[in-house]
Structure 1
Amino acid sequence: MKYQNWEMLDALYATGNITQTAKRLFLSQPTLTTRIKSLEDYYGVQLIIRKQRGITFTPEGEELALHARKMLREQINIEEKLNNMKQQVAGTLRVGVSNFFALNKMPKILRLFKQTYPNVEFQVVTGWSSDIHRRILNHDIHICFIKGDYNWNDEKELLYEEEVCIASPWEFNWSELPKLPRIDYRTDGKMKSIADNWWYSNYKEHPNINIQVNQVETAKEMIINNLGYAIMANLVVRPYPHLIIKNLHQPTGELITRKTWMYYHENSLQMNIVKAFVQFIKTLDVKDL
């Protein structure tokens, strides 16, 4: 089976949708449909079942899609091995990045790294830290940058620690918070637990949530426009000195903080590109980028 067909089956299995797969692969839908039909004719089995919304794989189709994913991974591995044998820092670095880090830190890091190693390309996956953690466990990526402490028994580097705070457009007393309008946003489970545990350790009432948004950056804009306060990591609002920022504390008086880590597998350091990138990150003051 051709490499392009591996890619097609893998993308189709990931999206479960012909339209989305065609867009991802820059193909027309008729071309994609023709390639699927050609594979079905070649193997003599039906691979997918079309539904009103999307598609589902037959058992035979699923088996072939999983094989395609395995073959893609083997292809990536051999390309990486050959690049490494050349003793060059070249090839594609696969990185997983939490959403905030991807928006605020990663573009600068990649630009600086590419200035030193121009033959490197990047494949960057973004998402919640929990999703990125799963990807590094599965060896889908070489390196990840995530917020919070996750189970990890391999190599890691603490990049920085930031305070969790109340960010508000106006001055406030702690006793007033339950009555003030709060902006809530989608975040990973660990950050939500930090916020909820702090709140219910200090207040009996539920927070007065009157705006809910999908991202922390949107919540920040709501705060800037005087629509309410939010609980978030300090770095998100640090560039806005006109906002009122008060850090949260444990009952013991300790600051509540959130760590940002770089995780990677020790055996991946055998690859020149990974080794060079890890060493490069260790030279940076990532928090102040």
Structure 2
Amino acid sequence: MEERDWLILKVLYEKKNITKTAQSLYISQPTLTKRIQQIEKEFDQPIISRGAKGVQFTPQGEYLVDCADEMLARLRKIKDTVKNMDHEVNGTLQLGVSNYITRHKLPALLKRFREQFPKVKYKVVTGWSRDIFTLAYHHDVHIGIVRGDYQWAGSKELLFEETICIASKEKIALNDLPQLPRIQYETDATLKTLIDNWWTGTFTEPPLIEMEVDKADTCKEMIVNGLGYGILPSVLVDDQPDLYRVDIKNEQGQPLKRKTWMLYHNESLEMKVVKEFVEFMRKLDIKNDL
């Protein structure tokens, strides 16, 4: 089977429709049908059937679909390895990046890297840090950029660290927090645990949650408009000098800090594009330069 055959199976399984699959892959329906027939001939098994609900896959077809991602990833790795045997840095750099870094840092970061290595292509996956960690662990991306501390046996680089702060429109007293309206936002499990542990170690009563939002950026806007206070990484409110903010501290009086790491496997450095990106990141002050 050719690379396009695996891609056909993957897309057809998602679309469940010959016409939509052909349009998505920019090929004609007769060509698509012929390729499917060729696959069935190669394995001497039917892989699809057509009915009122569209294209349905046989058990043999579903098995081949399950293999598609693995085969496409393997072919991509082979291509990248061959390309990186040349002196020129090219190929596809696969990155897994946490949501905050994606929104606030990644575009400028990749712009700078592309200026040095214009032939590099990118495949970027974004999400919560715990999900990016999993992708990096399973070699689904070359490099993972995560916020928070994770047990990692491979190589890692500390990119920057930030304090966790209480932010509000007006000055507030720490002892009054349990009685004041707090804006809660959805965040990564490591940060939530850090904040929750600080709260339970400081107060005997739960916080007064009067608003829940989906993102830290939304929480910041609510704070700016005086709708309550929030507990969030200080880097998110660095652009709001008029807000009252105070770093939260541990029992030893040291500010609680959250670290951002770059994770990768040593064998990935055999690819020039990965090695160059790691070196690029080592020289960059991602917190202040972007």
By the TM > 0.5 criterion, same fold? Answer: yes
Partner of 1:107: 107
In 2, Cα distance between equivalents of 1:123 and 1:166: 36
Question: Could you list the runs of 5+ residues in structure 1 that have no partner in the other structure?
Answer: none
One-letter amino acid of the counterpart of residue 260, structure 1: T
Larger-Rg structure: 2
SS of the equivalent of 1:228 reads: coil
Deviation digits for residues 187-236 of structure 1 (CA, Å, limit 9, x no counterpart): 11111101111111111221111111111111111111111111111101
TM-score normalised by structure 2 residue count = 0.86
Partner of 2:249: 249
Indicate yes or no: 2:204 matched with 1:204. yes
Partner of 1:171: 171
Question: Would the alpha carbon gap of residues 159 and 4 (structure 1) be closer, same or farther in structure 2, given more than 3 Å must change?
Answer: same
Indicate yes or no: 2:84 matched with 1:84. yes
How many residue pairs end up in the alignment? 281
CA contact (8 A) 2:94 2:123 kept: yes
Question: Would the alpha carbon gap of residues 255 and 272 (structure 1) be closer, same or farther in structure 2, given more than 3 Å must change?
Answer: same
Partner of 1:233: 233
Structure 1 residues 262-271 or 38-47, which shifts more? Answer: 38-47
Partner of 2:70: 70
CA contact (8 A) 1:163 1:258 kept: yes
Partner of 1:280: 280
Q: CA deviation at 1:18?
A: 5.0
SS of the equivalent of 2:240 reads: coil
Question: Would the alpha carbon gap of residues 215 and 5 (structure 1) be closer, same or farther in structure 2, given more than 3 Å must change?
Answer: farther
Question: Would the alpha carbon gap of residues 159 and 200 (structure 1) be closer, same or farther in structure 2, given more than 3 Å must change?
Answer: same
Partner of 1:133: 133
Q: CA deviation at 1:3?
A: 2.5
Q: What is the root-mean-square deviation in Å for CA atoms of aligned residues?
A: 3.0
SS of the equivalent of 1:158 reads: strand
CA contact (8 A) 1:49 1:58 kept: no
Partner of 1:94: 94
Question: Could you list the runs of 5+ residues in structure 2 that have no partner in the other structure?
Answer: none
Q: CA deviation at 1:50?
A: 9.6
In 2, Cα distance between equivalents of 1:36 and 1:58: 18
TM-score normalised by structure 1 residue count = 0.87
Partner of 1:186: 186
Q: CA deviation at 1:140?
A: 0.7
Q: CA deviation at 1:4?
A: 3.2
Identity %: 39
One-letter amino acid of the counterpart of residue 67, structure 1: C
Partner of 1:220: 220
Q: CA deviation at 1:17?
A: 6.6
CA contact (8 A) 2:105 2:286 kept: yes
SS of the equivalent of 1:85 reads: coil
In 2, Cα distance between equivalents of 1:63 and 1:94: 26
Question: Would the alpha carbon gap of residues 233 and 153 (structure 1) be closer, same or farther in structure 2, given more than 3 Å must change?
Answer: same
Question: Would the alpha carbon gap of residues 201 and 55 (structure 1) be closer, same or farther in structure 2, given more than 3 Å must change?
Answer: farther
In 2, Cα distance between equivalents of 1:111 and 1:127: 21
SS of the equivalent of 1:204 reads: coil
CA contact (8 A) 1:6 1:72 kept: yes
CA contact (8 A) 2:160 2:261 kept: yes
CA contact (8 A) 1:48 1:61 kept: no
Indicate yes or no: 2:118 matched with 1:118. yes
CA contact (8 A) 2:5 2:35 kept: no
